[in-house]
Chain A
Amino acid sequence: MNAGSRAVLRSLVPVICPPDAVPYGEAIVEHVGLSLAATPVLVQRGFVAGLAAYDLGALPRYLRRARALTGERAERYYASWEHGVTPLHVQFARGVKQLMNLACYEQPEMMAAVGYRVGPWIEEVRAKRLRVFADDIAKQERQIIAPDPLRPRAKQEVA
């Protein structure tokens, strides 16, 4: 993502993410960039083009780019896309929101705020499994590599 795209996304953090996520704005934008980089090239290009259109689209109405809008004006402008005049506006607004919400609740502080502490949980149950079920685990691992031919009498007979 280029600097312009990042600036637009940064301006959207207070609009799309909950208020307590605003301090993590830079990390959220960074995360959106990582997610976007994993998508098909066409999606990436479309998204970046969409951000540019969103940025410039504010000029006629607000005489400034979207990235410079704050507060109520930023809110109103995003809402105009969210309920937009064309399906493209609507799809783009949804796509941005989805990526930013994903990024928002991937922040450790936001996960902790909703009570999702999965790291320690994984460690706890992983250790429990290895401790309590060691015999069955070993049995399955032996089964995985034990000879058990699909055709017992078949031997490779081709030259």
Chain B
Amino acid sequence: MVAVALHEGAHPRNVFTRRDLRGDTVLDCDVVVVGSGAGGAPVAAELAEAGFDVVVLEEGPYYTTRDFTANTSAMIRQMYRGGGATMALGSPPLLFQEGRAVGGSTVINGGMSWRTPDEILARWRREAGLDTSPESLDPYFTRVEKRIHVAPMDESAIGNDNWLLKKGADAKGWKIVGNLRNQVHCVGSNRCAFGCPTGAKQSALVSYLPRALHFGARVYADVKVERVAFHGKRATGVIGRSAGGHHVVVRAKLVVAACGAIHTPALLARSGVRSRSGQLGKNLSLHPNVKVVAIFDEAVTSWKGAHQAFQVREFAEQGLGCFAAVNMPPSILAMSFPQRGAQLGELMAQYDKMVLAGLLCEDSTSGSVRTIHGVPQAFYQLAPKDLAQMQRGLVLLSELLFAAGAKRVLLPFHRARELHDADDARRVLAEPIPAKEWEVVTVHMMGTARMGRDRSRSVVDEHGFVHDADRLMVADASLFPTPIRVNPMETIMALATRAAGHVIDNARRFLS
């Protein structure tokens, strides 16, 4: 069984890596999918099952569950683009993380699986003229949820940090929801961000890709696609290079770009695609995240238990998407502290009593991705409104943590002093914090090839087909017309599934 083979670490026969590409290679297929993450993998699986010959190209390496170890920094080096050192330029620079491995960012995400909120879908209908009613998307969400096994957490796997988050939210009377995640009996190893070592998280690596392989798709790892090939306006395949330096040419009837919101616009730009709307690479949304560290009197041992078992949604409609407890290993936490030397040692000695909690902001501004000498560079300047929103969020999050019993709260600013109670939080955070002092991160990049009916305002149509090209489709978070307030994986998968259905329904047009 292919799924078992992937899970247990055997090498499936139709996965090819740099070791298999010993010379220049030319492949023929019906559909070539560039990227194997939340967008590419569902498209590949659906089209392969429909009987089409599918080739998936992935820039990153191929790992199996067995390769996911407790060595945090090795996992980051191997599976994060740029070793995790990728940033959108602005003040402050905003660190973002993307997966670069077979399975894409689904291998390193937290597994949160939420449908697009109805208000966001309504906004897309209103502003972009899209058919995105909850009813029309329901079959696709349902299908995705079945495939990746979206389910609430087993209570036994929920760690103390998440129970404290719930305690604080309950004390404040705030809305808190159990997280839905793509997992089959997650047992709380709390290693989601470094590759699930138990196989519980149903990333594309252990769900959609094994399905695609089962139905005959071929996956080529370690291949970076340089450009899409065209005959006139019609995409005819892609040209890339293996990690060993050999040329890889894939001739296809349909090209699907699913490289994420940073690299998809770059691939299109490198390939000479020019959107008449001028929106290619624009409209970058990031869901800026900030975090605080709360220190309790008693041991919390946050590293035992599921990642993000709950989300506080009290302020979601006010632009603060959620608050969540998000444990990180000591090395990652130590990176974020301003302390050093003996002071760092004293602080880290409290590691077992720490709760790391973060908040997600629905951004009101947007940045861009520019392609400079073929390489994408993101630019993003946090809006004063969003900074103020995050600052308000930090007050609220600190209040919650103190209500849960925290004794100290450390803020995400350079040179910030620590807080000792909720009044302290309100007092310290009453004055605006200069933008350059913030430490902001994200894992949600969206919007750089946005969809819409109006060609003059969008890059692709509602199925992801590029307006100004033929047989070239986008299937990733680049499509989103706006930020979506929740974790984007399920939305990406549902839209990709709908797009695959559109291709199947119109096979004569797209695949003859």
Considering the complex, which residues of chain A in the window 121-159 have a beta carbon less than 8 Å from any beta carbon of chain B?
Answer: 121-122, 125-126, 128-129, 132-133, 136-137, 140-145, 147-151, 154-159
Distance to closest chain A CB from B186 (angstroms): 8
Chain A residues lying within 8 Å of B342, measured Cβ to Cβ, are: 18-19
CB atoms of A111 and B330 under 8 A apart: yes
Spell out A's residues near B (CB within 8 Å).
14-21, 31, 34-40, 43, 75, 87, 94, 97-99, 101-106, 110-111, 113-116, 118-119, 121-122, 125-126, 128-129, 132-133, 136-137, 140-145, 147-151, 154-159
Chain A residues lying within 8 Å of B331, measured Cβ to Cβ, are: 101-106, 111
Interface check B389, CB cutoff 8 A? no
Distance to closest chain A CB from B509 (angstroms): 9
The 3 closest A-B pairs by CB, nearest first: A18-B345, A38-B83, A156-B51
Given contacts A20-B345, A34-B77, contact A141 B3 (CB under 8 A): yes
| Bound form: Cα–Cα A59–B70 in Å | 42
| Bound form: Cα–Cα A118–B198 in Å | 13
Compute the total of residue contacts between A and B using a CB distance below 8 Å: 193
Interface check B73, CB cutoff 8 A? yes
Given contacts A101-B334, A101-B335, A118-B329, contact A16 B187 (CB under 8 A): no
Interface check B364, CB cutoff 8 A? no
CB atoms of B197 and A151 under 8 A apart: no
Chain A residues lying within 8 Å of B497, measured Cβ to Cβ, are: 150
Interface check B7, CB cutoff 8 A? yes
Distance to closest chain B CB from A47 (angstroms): 10
Chain A residues lying within 8 Å of B241, measured Cβ to Cβ, are: none
CB atoms of B73 and A121 under 8 A apart: no
CB atoms of B85 and A43 under 8 A apart: yes
Chain B residues lying within 8 Å of A148, measured Cβ to Cβ, are: 49
Given contacts A103-B73, A158-B508, contact A15 B341 (CB under 8 A): yes
| Bound form: Cα–Cα A111–B332 in Å | 11
Given contacts A38-B76, A101-B335, contact A16 B340 (CB under 8 A): yes
- Which of A34, A35, A94, A158 meets B511, CB within 8 Å? A158
CB atoms of B505 and A151 under 8 A apart: yes
Residue of A nearest to B154 (CB): A133
CB atoms of B187 and A129 under 8 A apart: yes
Q: Please name 27 pairs of A and B residues whose Cβ atoms are closer than 8 Å in the assembled complex, sorted by A.
A: A15-B340, A19-B341, A20-B345, A38-B85, A43-B82, A102-B331, A106-B71, A106-B72, A106-B73, A106-B331, A116-B351, A118-B70, A118-B190, A119-B70, A122-B70, A122-B191, A126-B187, A126-B197, A126-B199, A129-B200, A136-B184, A140-B184, A141-B4, A143-B146, A145-B2, A150-B49, A154-B50
CB atoms of B185 and A159 under 8 A apart: no
Considering the complex, which residues of chain B in the window 447-476 have a beta carbon less than 8 Å from any beta carbon of chain A?
Answer: none
Given contacts A15-B340, A145-B1, A145-B211, contact A137 B184 (CB under 8 A): yes
| Bound form: Cα–Cα A34–B500 in Å | 41
CB atoms of A18 and B341 under 8 A apart: yes
Considering the complex, which residues of chain B in the window 297-324 have a beta carbon less than 8 Å from any beta carbon of chain A?
Answer: 299, 301, 303-304
Question: Which one of B4, B207, B332, B348 has the greatest number of beta carbons of chain A within 10 Å?
Answer: B348
CB atoms of A150 and B50 under 8 A apart: yes
Distance to closest chain B CB from A75 (angstroms): 8
Chain A residues lying within 8 Å of B424, measured Cβ to Cβ, are: none
Given contacts A116-B330, A118-B70, A121-B304, contact A101 B344 (CB under 8 A): yes
